[in-house]
A and B are shown apart, each in its own frame.
Chain A
Amino acid sequence: DTGVSQNPRHKITKRGQNVTFRCDPISEHNRLYWYRQTLGQGPEFLTYFQNEAQLEKSRLLSDRFSAERPKGSFSTLEIQRTEQGDSAMYLCASSLKQGAYNEQFFGPGTRLTVL
């Protein structure tokens, strides 16, 4: 399978715990994006990387959230001290920067439930 993969697919945690998600982009894609999608809403942008550099972060990304892409390949998104409001689907997408438009390919998402 050469698509975007995300692990785990589901995560249930208790409030206050830390969680980490992983995203493996399509090979050779230099851009990687994180989005969050709550029930009945469209995805909302969180952050994106070009290679290993984090170029933009949304105001939605509070201090409890941190994302990394250490070698310009896979990325991790960590949420510290989870809150019930963090319950959502976390989507990763990747693209290859070639021109003004770069199709973003989405992974299946990680569904987080905070109890």
Chain B
Amino acid sequence: QKEVEQDPGPLSVPEGAIVSLNCTYSNSAFQYFMWYRQYSRKGPELLMYTYSSGNKEDGRFTAQVDKSSKYISLFIRDSQPSDSATYLCAMQGAQKLVFGQGTRLTINP
């Protein structure tokens, strides 16, 4: 079993929809939880990070962490075609990042 599980999708939604992306994890030692966005043939770029349990909002993006359930989420409101990318959850274990498989998201105009 992988340390971090993420549904690979693909996920396709119409423009303007609310998107929900999720990951589960098994290592209770993880303290920092991140969402990265990766466009095709590019490196990942950090969208948001959250420390421990709670919510964090940045514009149209909201990240949620529930450590008791070992479950994290990313919500995208008013989704735009430019949001089409692969979204990777990641968790910091010591110094390295442990990534989920990535969810491929397409926003249709």
Contacts and interface: CB of A to CB of B under 8 A. Distances in A.
Interface stretch (A64-72, A73-81, A106-114): A106-114
Q: What is the size category of the interface that chain B forms with chain A?
A: 20 to 34
Contact of A31 (B41, B45, B95): B95
B96 interface: yes
A85 interface: no
B43 interface: yes
Contacts of A33: 95-97
Contacts of A13: none
A91 B43 contact: yes
Interface string B84-109: 00001010101111111110000000
B-side interface mostly: strand
B81 interface: no
B98 A45 contact: yes
A25 to B, nearest CB: 13
A43 B97 contact: yes
Given A42-B4, A55-B95, A104-B46, 5 more contacts: A43-B88, A48-B95, A103-B46, A103-B49, A109-B42
Interface of B: 4, 6, 8, 31-32, 36, 41-46, 49, 51, 88, 90, 92, 94-102
